[in-house]
Each structure stands twice: as C-alpha cells, then as structure tokens.
Amino acid sequence: MTLGLIPLAVLMWAVTYPSRALPMLAPGIERLPAWTVSYLRLAGPAALAALAAVNCLLTAGNPPTLLVGVEPVAVAGCVLVVARTRLLLPGVLAAVVLVALARAIGVAA
Amino acid sequence: MGCADTVEESRRQLTRDAMAIAAYALPVGLVYGLAALQAHFTLLDVVVTCLVVLAGGAQFAAAGLVKGGAPWLAIAGVTALVNARHLLYSAAVAPYTAERPRRERAFMAHFLTDETFALSLAHFRRIGRFDAPGYWVAALVIFVPWTLGSTVGYLAGGAVDTRLLGLDVAFPAAMAGLSLGMVSRRRDVAAALGAVAVAVPIGLVGGVSAGLVAGALLGPLFGLAVPASATDESSAPETPEPSAEAGLP
C-alpha cells in the first residue's frame, strides 16, 4: 500500500497548526512587531493571487509560455462576478459555463 | 432578558448564520473535489487532506501545485503563507479560551478556520464569554459539509468529461475569486497585484512553482510599500477580517 499524498497532508498540517494554536496555547506570542503582522495579513491574498495568475496565464509546459485563450477571460469574468456578489460559487460557475460554451461552439480548444 | 436567555438567543443566531455557511461550503467542496481529481489525488488523499489540513485556500493551492509537479517543500511554504492569517484569528479568540484546559484548547485550535473564527468570535462577543457548544457548532458547520462536498465532488468528477464541461477552469477561477474575497484594503490590492506582477515573469523563466513562491513571498512587500489608509490602520490584530464570504474553511 502506498501512502500517496498523506505525508504531504501531514506536512501541510504541521505548517498550519502552529498558526492556529500558538496564541491560544502561549498567550502573548501574538505580540509580534507591527510590520510582521502587516506582512502576515497580506500573505494570504498575495499567495492566492499568484496561484490564480500562474494557473490561468501560464501553460503547463516546461518551460511555461503565456497562455492565450478563453481561460484567462473566464477567470476575469469570475473576478467580476465575485466582486459584484461577494460570493465565490456564482463566479466559478460563470467561468465554467463560459469555457464550456466557447469549446462547444468551437471558438476555444 | 436573563443571562441564560441571552446565551440561547445568541446560539440561535449562531445556528442561523452557520446554516448559511454550511449551505455554501458544500458546493465549494464539490469544486475542490474536482480540482483534486484533476491533480490525480486518490479518494483517500482527498478525505485525509480535508480532515487533517482543513484549510480550503491552502488545499486548493496544493491541488494546483501537485498537478504542476511542485516539490512538497514549496507546497508547505505556500500553505504556511496562505494560512499565516490564522495566527491573528487565534490571538483574537485566545482571551475567551484562556480558562479552558490546555488539552481542550489544543484540540479546538485544529478547527479554527475562517468561518469558525468569524462565527464563534461574534457569538462570544454577544454573550461576553466562552461557550463550548457555540464553538463546536461553528467548527462542525464547516468541517462536515466541506469534507462531504469534497468527497462527492471527487466521486462525481470521475464520471464526467471535466474538460468538455469547462471544469478545468474551476481551479484558477476559484483561486482568483478567493483572493478577491480577502482583498478589502488598498494594501491588499497592492499585495495581490504585486504578487501577480512577480509570479508571471518569474514563472516564465523559472517554472510555475518558482513563480508562485516568489509571488507569494514578495507580493506582501508591495502592500507594505503602500501607505496605510484609515481602514488599514483600524484593522488591529484584535479584529482580523476573515474571508468567510468565500465559503472555504
């Protein structure tokens, strides 16, 4: 039997749990320098924006190239819908429908 | 109104709010299940990741990175960055949990997601103290539907042509939307745009993983370079803003 990605899940837990537990278990540890708190606050949106960008703007090849197609347009559409509704699911659905339609009528590969 | 009435009323409000979040977490879990399927996770991987990590943004990120063949160390680094905000949540909840046994606090911490934080802190503030049943309602209301939705999404995704249905775009779209859900201040916008500006060119030269890690690490510096606005200044660590609208743990 192979463990697959279970060790990765444990590794992810190991870097997540301290953030959740330390201030509750060791009061006072949260008194970080102001710039550290600001950096931590900004790390979430930065990491997810970078992730979205490399996944919709770059191809999976090695080396990657810029992706030209309906996918970046669909992701932009998702952003617009989420900005308007503040809900993730309608945005994702809009992107999926747009890509499926574009492929169905032959304007996207 | 007596103290007991106040607690009961607050619990009822907590339950109403929690049901709305549960109704949303289930379908977003479906999307995660599909993303994990495309990244060649096994069903066991999906379930264990939901139970052990319980962090939607990081789980989505890991699925994309695994699919791209990123090293596990890079995935751990991105996970740590994405979940670093939990430090602020935990600090905000800590005054209410200080009198609880250490072992109970250690166990509760595992479930401290965006939604659990938002629901439980609001409840504690309404009643002015810690309430264990309230905390566990807030925790389970995201834990159960997220895990169930992910499992169903994975199983259902195997039965359809995900590319034909456009489901392959669900992952980057979810990431972009989730990022937007975390952006509420000028500095957030600068950090997100800075991360994109770094990630894409470095990704073109050094590969997708290098671009992602560079964007995640350097993006916040763009945000820090922007002078703090009034809303930035008012967001003290006591009141971090969770991305509860996104419906992710």
CB B68 within 8 A of CB A58: no
ipTM of this complex:
0.80
A88, pLDDT greater than 80: no
> What distance in Å separates the CA atoms of residue A25 and residue A37, rounded to the nearest whole number?
19
CB B55 within 8 A of CB A15: no
Which of A50, A43, A60, A73 is CA-nearest to residue B213?
A50
Indicate the angle between helix axes B43-52 and B132-157, nearest 10 degrees: 160
Query: Which of the four pLDDT bands, split at 50, 70 and 90, describes residue A18?
Result: very high
Using only C-alpha atoms, chain B has a radius of gyration, in whole angstroms, of 19
Bigger pLDDT: A27 vs B124: B124
Q: Where are the beta strands (DSSP E) in chain B?
A: none
Contact B105 A21 (CB under 8 A): yes
Interface of B with A in 60-119 (CB under 8 A): 60-62, 64, 66, 68, 72, 75-91, 93-94, 97-98, 102, 105-106, 108-110, 112
- From chain A, the residues in CB contact with B90 under 8 A are 19-24, 30
Q: How far is CA B204 from CA A62, A68, B61, B211, B213, in A?
A: 9, 14, 19, 8, 13
- Closest residue in A to B28 (Cα) is A89
CB B58 within 8 A of CB B178: no
CB B86 within 8 A of CB B249: no
Task: Name A58's bridge partners.
Answer: A66
- pTM value is 0.72
A30-72 tens-digit pLDDT: 577 888 878 877 877 787 788 788 888 888 776 788 888 898 8
Indicate the average pLDDT of chain A: 85
Using only C-alpha atoms, chain A has a radius of gyration, in whole angstroms, of 20
pLDDT given at position B236: 43
CB within 8 Å of B78: residues ≥ 6 apart: A47, A51, B58, B61, B62, B65, B212, B213, B216
A80, pLDDT greater than 90: yes
- From chain A, the residues in CB contact with B33 under 8 A are none
Bigger pLDDT: A95 vs A63: A95
Rounded to 5 degrees, φ, ψ at A28 are 105, -25
CB B171 within 8 A of CB B35: yes
- Closest residue in A to B47 (Cα) is A6
pLDDT given at position B28: 80
Instruction: Record the tokens describing residue B234, joined without a space.
Output: 């008012």
pLDDT given at position B54: 95
pLDDT given at position B227: 86
pLDDT given at position B26: 83
Long-range CB contacts for residues B199-206, cutoff 8 Å, separation at least 24: B199/A49, B199/A50, B199/A53, B199/A54, B200/A53, B200/A54, B200/A57, B200/A58, B200/A66, B203/A53, B203/A54, B203/A58, B203/A64, B204/A58, B204/A63, B204/A64, B204/A65, B204/A66, B205/A63
Chain A contact for B166 (CB, 8 A cutoff): yes
CB within 8 Å of B95: residues ≥ 6 apart: none
Instruction: Record the tokens describing residue B144, joined without a space.
Output: 């159960």
pLDDT given at position B245: 43
Q: How far is CA A38 from CA B10, B95, B173, in A?
A: 32, 21, 26
Give me the residue label for tokens 């932009």: A76
pLDDT given at position B241: 47
Find which of B32, B83, B164, B185 to mutate to test the A interface (most A CBs within 10 Å of its CB).
Answer: B83
Taking the CA of residue B129 and the nearest CA in chain A, the distance in Å comes to: 15
Tens of each residue's pLDDT in chain B, 249 residues: 556 668 899 999 888 888 877 877 887 888 899 889 988 999 999 999 999 999 988 998 899 889 888 899 989 998 998 888 788 788 888 889 989 999 999 999 999 998 888 788 889 988 989 999 999 999 998 899 999 999 999 998 877 777 788 877 877 787 788 777 667 788 989 999 999 999 999 999 988 778 888 888 899 999 999 987 766 654 444 444 444 444 456
